[in-house]
Amino acid sequence: MIQCEDVHKWYGEFHVLKGITTSIRRGEVVVVCGPSGSGKSTFIRTINRLEEHQQGRIIVDGIELTNDLRNIDAIRREVGMVFQQFNLFPHLTVLQNVTLGPIHVKKMKKVEAIERAMELLNRVGIAEQAEKYPGQLSGGQQQRVAIARALAMSPAVMLFDEPTSALDPEMIKEVLDVMRELAQSGMTMVCVTHEMGFAREVADRIIFFDRGKIVEENTPYEFFNNPREERSRLFLSQIL
């Protein structure tokens, strides 16, 4: 589903991604972890061209990310993204947030978009909030709306960038539960997260980043119990 071959990126002079090679299969759930500043966000943002890579190849569902705007458009339709800070439109209701993309980008009929949005809001356990504005919801509820909004575009892949990092502890579980259900439904997911319980239980694979490189790729069991690399060990000793 996603193939990265020797991907490099610089911010000005700063070499942030130093040759990332990995591939993610359809239906796979991958957790990306690593120290702050190691390039995790940059990596997943290059997958839907929120950041441009300067060298190497990224291919999503058979489409290569090049400067061709048609390809960028096609890939963005395939890839849903959920951010730490939710990024909902504050002046639109929950329902409007979820139907906006389907109506304006997918040209779906309004009634159909509403019906589908309500199904998704129901799936993330928040249908009764449909007419509220984001500011009237808790962080956990807003993040579940953000997940429903991404799913409304019927993506083939979902990217999550620390979706629970801005949440109070009691709201983390409700968001992780939605992500777990999504994983069980067969969605291909790449999740940057520090939630190691989630990683252990739900991930098929862990990708550990340090200083712009993939240092270790492993099964959760091996990564947590018997990491191959010294830097992984050090990281785990600091967070667990």
- Paired strand residues for 217: 207
Nearer Cβ to Mg ion, position 113 or 215?
215
* Amino acid in the structure at residue 22: T
> Quick one: which of 42, 40, 105 has its CA closest to 73?
105
Nearer Cβ to ligand ADP, position 102 or 212?
212
- Least Cβ distance, residue 7 to ligand ADP (angstroms): 13
- Least Cβ distance, residue 212 to ligand ADP (angstroms): 7
What DSSP string runs through 158-174?
Answer: EEEESTTTTS-HHHHHH
The C-alpha atoms of residue 142 and residue 140 are separated, in whole angstroms, by 5
**How many chain residues interact with ligand ADP (CB under 6 A)?**
11
> Which option in ligand ADP, Mg ion, none does residue 11 bind, with CB closer than 5 to 8 A by kind?
ligand ADP
Query: Residue 38 interacts with Mg ion (CB under 5 A)?
Result: no
What tokens appear for 17 in the block? 């991604």
The C-alpha atoms of residue 56 and residue 195 are separated, in whole angstroms, by 30
Query: Residue 41 interacts with Mg ion (CB under 5 A)?
Result: yes
- The set of residues, in sequence order, having a beta carbon less than 8 Å from that of 54 and lying 6+ positions away, is 8, 9, 10
What is the x/- site pattern for ligand ADP, positions 3-42, by CB under 6 A?
A: --------x--x-x-----------------x-xxxxxxx
Residue with tokens 């999504």: 182
The C-alpha atoms of residue 60 and residue 137 are separated, in whole angstroms, by 34
Whole-number CA gyration radius for the chain = 18
The C-alpha atoms of residue 233 and residue 237 are separated, in whole angstroms, by 6
Nearer Cβ to ligand ADP, position 40 or 116?
40
- Least Cβ distance, residue 16 to ligand ADP (angstroms): 4
Q: What is the DSSP letter of 129?
A: G
Query: Residue 164 interacts with Mg ion (CB under 5 A)?
Result: no
Nearer Cβ to ligand ADP, position 39 or 140?
39
* Amino acid in the structure at residue 117: A
> Which option in ligand ADP, Mg ion, none does residue 37 bind, with CB closer than 5 to 8 A by kind?
ligand ADP
Binding site for ligand ADP (CB under 6 A): 11, 14, 16, 34, 36-42
Binding site for Mg ion (CB under 5 A): 41
